[in-house]
Amino acid sequence: MPAALSVQCSVLSLGPVQLATNLLLAPIAGYCDLAFRTICREFGGVGLACTDLLSPQGLLRGTATSLDLAQTNDFDKPVGMQLYGSDPEIMAQGARWAVEHGATVVDINMGCPVDKVTKKDGGSKLLTDLSRAVAIAARVVKELEACALSESQWQQRLGTARLIGSGRIPVPLTCKMRLCWHTSDYESGAACSPHLARMLADVGVVAVTVHGRTTEMKFSGQVQLAGIARVVEAVDGRIPVIGNGDVRSPADAARMIRETGCKGVMIGRGALSMPWIFRDTWAHLSGEQASGEPGEVPVATQIAMIRRYFDLMRQYRDDHFAIFQINRRVSWFAKPLQRKLENGKMEGIKPFKEAVRNARTPQAVYEALDRFAAGELRGGFGAWEAEEAAA
Ligand SMILES: Cc1cc2nc3c(=O)[nH]c(=O)nc-3n(C[C@H](O)[C@H](O)[C@H](O)COP(=O)(O)O)c2cc1C
């Protein structure tokens, strides 16, 4: 194996939890549900998958929405449960709830730019109040220590991970952040993330994930690898840094590791259309697959994957929700189905997407999948479709 790649294939440890790879599925509110996490895990290569952001108040009150979002099972391990909020005490109680409900890792959201979250001082608003961010983390670490688990309790939540250590061991805490709030701060070299990461390490946070954008950037512009590298430099090997943002291929992940020195890579949107990206990225990083592009997945496998997602959604939730999800997600799932014909033209799949988007019964969804697999529901590659495919 080339020396450059052997560094990239080290597995990642989050405190006492040694993951099977260094690749993580990002939380994506409304998308990275149990059914989708299962699909990614079935393809392979996922070191850790995370729930979408969870409201600790919702969990503690037992609201149906929060409990649905926190749904997990024995196959869905190791799993991170991500909490958002700004009250240290409530976050601590939320963390205890997460431990009692199967979390392998607890994560605090310090990166969400959405108004609904930042108006309540949570998410990336914490990047403007570092002492509060650190106080929350310190209080959560204390709570996690107070509900440390025995080795036998640990065995039930490890899945593909391994436990390093013995005796009673607390569930580890990680934090996910952006570079800082204001883009001008980043540009002038005054981003708070390097300083924050160091302070979080001081209070017992075992790793930080850095999405290389500012809050003001939301999802525009390009991920700033230099910003992630500054956090890596600041923590100086005390805790691992997980890089995140715009990874759409194994080559992107390799580049992120090479240019930032991060120890792990978290992938979000790239996985929504290619749940096999973790398998292919791990194969690339470990030198098994030379190509930096995601592997070719046969159409039949892709259709089987969409069907499996839909079946799992029906099983974990209900038909109504499964249909709602497949209607809105078909564009993501269908992206890789777009292919070049022998004459060099793109084959349109708009009829397929429309059939799934308009399906109102499980039978209509299955029929659309069967027809596409049989070579129907293709054609009409229009301008808007080209734009969607490029997005
Ligand atoms: C629709 C949407 C929802 C998201 N929800 C969350 C969330 O619940 N928690 C979180 O930490 N990040 C969330 N993110 C951010 C992603 O985890 C990730 O940091 C970001 O998409 C960049 O990575 P990517 O380019 O691999 O997608 C969300 C992103 C999107 C697009």
**How much distance in Å is there from the Cα of 28 to the middle of ligand 1?**
5
Q: Where are the beta strands (DSSP E) in the chain?
A: 13-14, 17-18, 23-25, 48-50, 79-83, 105-110, 162-163, 173-178, 207-211, 241-244, 264-267, 339-340, 346-347
Q: Rounded mean pLDDT of 26-53?
A: 97
Question: Looking at the domain 3-285, which fold is it?
Answer: TIM Barrel (3.20.20)
Q: Could you identify the atom of ligand 1 that is nearest to the CA of residue 52?
A: 8
Rounded to an integer, what distance in angstroms lies between the CA atom of residue 130 and that of residue 138? 12
Q: Rounded mean pLDDT of 260-267?
A: 98
pLDDT reported for residue 130: 98
- Pick from 23, 24, 28, 246 the residue to mutate for probing ligand 1's pocket: most ligand atoms within 8 Å of its CB: 28
Residue 366 is inside which H or E element, if any? helix 362-373
In the chain, % of residues over pLDDT 90: 88
Cβ of 93 closer than 6 Å to ligand 1, yes or no, is: no
pLDDT reported for residue 53: 97
pLDDT band at 382 (very low <50, low <70, confident <90, very high): low
pLDDT reported for residue 387: 56
Residue 168 is inside which H or E element, if any? none
Q: Which of 110-119, 337-346, 379-388 bottoms out in mean pLDDT, i.e. has the lowest? A: 379-388
Residue having the nearest C-alpha atom to atom 23 of ligand 1: 245
Whose tokens are 């930042």? That residue is: 118
Taking Cα atoms as reference points, which of 249, 258, 267, 242 lies closest to residue 11?
242
pLDDT reported for residue 3: 43
163 bridge partner residues = 17
**How much distance in Å is there from the Cα of 166 to the middle of ligand 1?**
34
For 365, counting Cβ atoms within 10 Å of its Cβ (0-12 exposed, 13-18 middle, 19+ buried), the class is buried
Cβ of 267 closer than 6 Å to ligand 1, yes or no, is: yes
Cβ of 176 closer than 6 Å to ligand 1, yes or no, is: yes
Whether the pLDDT of residue 229 is over 50: the answer is yes
The overall average pLDDT reported for the chain is 94
Distances (CA, A) of 145 to 23, 88, 107, 205, 323: 26, 15, 15, 12, 42
Interior/surface letters 178-213, b for 16+ CB within 10 angstroms, e for the rest: bbbbbbebbeeeebbbbebbbbbbebbbbbbbbbbb
pLDDT band at 344 (very low <50, low <70, confident <90, very high): confident
Cβ of 159 closer than 6 Å to ligand 1, yes or no, is: no
pLDDT band at 390 (very low <50, low <70, confident <90, very high): low
176 bridge partner residues = 109, 209
Q: Could you identify the atom of ligand 1 that is nearest to the CA of residue 270?
A: 26
Rounded to an integer, what distance in angstroms lies between the CA atom of residue 365 and that of residue 147? 45
Q: Rounded mean pLDDT of 24-30?
A: 97
Q: Could you identify the atom of ligand 1 that is nearest to the CA of residue 176?
A: 11
Residue having the nearest C-alpha atom to atom 21 of ligand 1: 268
Cβ of 215 closer than 6 Å to ligand 1, yes or no, is: no
Whether the pLDDT of residue 391 is over 80: the answer is no
Token couple for 65: 């929405």
In the chain, % of residues over pLDDT 70: 94
Whether the pLDDT of residue 386 is over 60: the answer is no
Cβ of 356 closer than 6 Å to ligand 1, yes or no, is: no
Q: Which of 32-41, 206-215, 371-380 bottoms out in mean pLDDT, i.e. has the lowest? A: 371-380
Question: Domain boundaries in the chain?
Answer: 3-285, 299-390
171 alpha-carbon distance from chain centroid:
19
Starting at the edge strand that comes first in sequence, how are the strands of the sheet with 17-18 ordered? 13-14, 17-18, 162-163
**How much distance in Å is there from the Cα of 287 to the middle of ligand 1?**
28
Token couple for 49: 């998958």
Stronger pLDDT, 242 or 383, i.e. the higher one? 242
Whether the pLDDT of residue 27 is over 80: the answer is yes
Please tell me whether residue 368 adopts helix, strand or coil conformation. helix
pLDDT reported for residue 268: 98
Report how far apart the first and last C-alpha atoms of the chain are (Å, whole number): 35
**What are the DSSP calls for 280-348, one per residue?**
HHHHHHTTS---SSPPP--HHHHHHHHHHHHHHHHHHS-HHHHHHHHHHHHHHHHGGG-EE-TTSPEEP
DSSP 167: S
Residue having the nearest C-alpha atom to atom 26 of ligand 1: 268
**How much distance in Å is there from the Cα of 54 to the middle of ligand 1?**
13
Whether the pLDDT of residue 333 is over 50: the answer is yes
Q: Rounded mean pLDDT of 281-297?
A: 90
